[in-house]
Amino acid sequence: MLLIPAIDLKGGRCVRLREGKAEAVTVYASDPVEVARRWESEGARWLHVVDLDGAFSGCPVHLEAVAAIVAAVKIPVQVGGGIRSREAAEELLALGAARIVLGTAAVRERDLLRDLLARFGPEKVAVSVDARRGKVAVGGWEEETALEAVALGEELRALGVRWTVFTDIQRDGTLQGPNLEAVANFARSLPGLNVIASGGVSKLADLLELRKLAPLGVKGAIVGKALYDGRIRLAEALRLMEE
């Protein structure tokens, strides 16, 4: 199972939000490139970069920072946040992003999702399924829809999506532990879909529990706050996940 460090960008800095709330922000570093190099040097095989300002505004804001991160490391970088047009998707992929992650656009603009899947293929285009109490949220997680997470997953799978990032919003940035039941239910209900779990990881034991879900299709876990707070040491966690 992949362990993927998160780099969330807001105001040009590396931050973490609590439950996706813009006002509940903790700044961890002023240089995201330095952070990316650190995670690579400690053994990360992928990075997960989120343009938070882009997610809230509806279009990518930190293109220069993304380009600098991609140029600074040799490992693949997946990028999300505010990708709601073909132009935005094409620009990020042209900058060297290994994979883009759509959220709001995948819910509201299915034709765009179809177009991007056809143009770039399912290994380049993932979808973030962000749920609060089982219901999908969009627009930087500020707007809750009536759409159930599993129902969205079924539609995405039918369209040819292969990779999803499943986030329990109420656990994100809280260090309360991942919502294992929700992750398991999502993955179990959608055989053939590769799921990357996100939100709530606080300790090595959480990662071991997520690893148990690998037979259901859980292929990775994104970790943010626990790495920045030093609760999890990346090199140690990577060894654990690969044993």
Catalytic residue set: 8, 130
Residues 6+ apart with CB under 8 A from 233: none
Chain CA centroid to CA 235, Å: 20
Asked if 163 and 194 count as a contact pair (C-beta separation under 8 A), the reply is: yes
Residues of 64-95 as b/e, b for ≥16 C-beta within 10 angstroms? ebbbbbbeebeeebbbbbbbbeeebbebbbeb
